[in-house]
A and B are shown apart, each in its own frame.
Chain A
Amino acid sequence: MKILIMGCGRVGARLASLLDEDGHNVTILDTDTYSFRRLPPSFGGTALFGNGIDEEALKKAGVEDMDIFIAVTQGDNRNVMACQLARHIFNVPRVMCRIYDPLREEMYSALGLETVSPTKVMAELFRDKIKG
């Protein structure tokens, strides 16, 4: 599958290399080329400089042909806006989005985005560990 990832932080870079190993066609986007150092030397996908909340940058990254778009930058609002661009302007079939703020995550999940809140997931994970 063709997958576009926005944000080459720890999560973005790791996800990109996992998906690349699984044989997907991966493109990763970041506004700071220095962050591409996080990609392993074996990474066979494309690393591109660009801002994922800019229509023209998304188009250059080939968003129109993507099967999946994933936004994992540090900013909740940036992720949400990029996903809505991918979905409503470029009709990408699946868009996924990291949203730290649980309230915002609930709202956008209700609006039809596939969302993950690391805040919720981590808190529940630790609680479950303590419960045993």
Chain B
Amino acid sequence: MYIIVVGGGRVGYYLLKALLNEGHEVLLIEKDPRICKTITDEMGSVCFRGDGCEAAVLAEVGTGRADMLVAVTGDDEDNLVSCQVAKHKHNVPRTIARIRNPLNAVLFKKLGIDVTVSSTDIILESIEREVPTHPLTHLLTFEDKDLALVDVKIPAGSTTIGKTVKDLDLPRESNLALIIPSEGGARTPTPATVINEGDQIIAVTTRESEDLLRAALMGA
């Protein structure tokens, strides 16, 4: 695959290295001549000096034949514009943007950016997994289908303990995929499966019905 990375900060640098190791054709675009020189000295001609938001620069590096553009500068607005230029001027099939402000995910999605990655959100999710007051954790999101794979732990005192799956008031858009009891092992839930304290339930749900799903699984 031909992948273009915009922004030669630490994220861009390690991303470039990892992608090269995986055998992809990668080019990094960076404004700062010193950073470009350091990268060229270390890895050869894989760095192009220029502004990754300019259509002319993107044309020069053959963005038209790129399979993917990944914008990882430290500024959300620069990552947005770089991805938009790649999409609208060069028809790049897949664009990925790093965002600092998690709220920007909504705007970026509306504007056609395929994937956004927010380090704030990723760290928050790791914390949620450890905190008992956050019973619902995102494991994976399918942005294009508006679905999420989530993990719900059944805490002590939940009103659903002892009920069977068919008695739960599950939202229509949610499906239970797997139940992992506290003693380990994994079961595919059937309508007769009983919910126990400490169960870990893996489910697929739309973003909208997340709260309903949580309520259905844990009781009020």
Contact = CB atoms under 8 A, between A and B. Distances in A.
A21 interface: no
A53 B76 contact: yes
Query: Chain B at the A interface: mostly helix, strand, loop or mixed?
Result: helix
Nearest to A110: B88
Interface residues of A, number: 20
A115 interface: no
A88 B110 contact: yes
A89 B110 CA distance: 9
A85 to B, nearest CB: 6
Query: Chain A at the B interface: mostly helix, strand, loop or mixed?
Result: helix
Interface of A: 53-56, 75-78, 80-81, 84-85, 88-89, 101, 103-104, 107, 110-111
Interface in B51-84: 53-56, 75-78, 80-81, 84
Contacts of A80: 77, 80-81
Given A84-B111, A103-B55, 4 more contacts: A80-B80, A104-B53, A104-B55, A107-B84
Given A84-B107, A88-B110, A89-B107, A107 B89 contact: yes
Contact residues on B (Cβ < 8 Å of other chain), bracket: 20 to 34
A75 B77 CA distance: 9
Nearest to B101: A54
A110 B55 CA distance: 14
B106 interface: yes
Given A54-B101, A55-B103, A101-B54, A78 B88 contact: no
Contacts of A85: 107
A85 B78 CA distance: 14
Contacts of A84: 80, 107, 111
Interface string B168-205: 00000000000000000000000000000000000000
A74 B81 CA distance: 15
Nearest to B89: A107
A104 B107 contact: no
Given A84-B107, A84-B111, A107-B89, A77 B77 contact: yes
Listed from nearest, the 7 A-B pairs whose CB atoms lie closest are A81-B77, A77-B77, A77-B81, A103-B55, A55-B103, A78-B77, A88-B110
A93 B110 CA distance: 17
15 contacts: A55-B107, A75-B77, A77-B53, A80-B77, A81-B76, A84-B107, A85-B107, A88-B107, A89-B107, A89-B110, A103-B56, A104-B55, A107-B85, A107-B88, A107-B89
A55 B104 CA distance: 8
A1 B102 CA distance: 32
A7 B103 CA distance: 22
Contacts of B85: 104, 107
Contacts of B78: 77
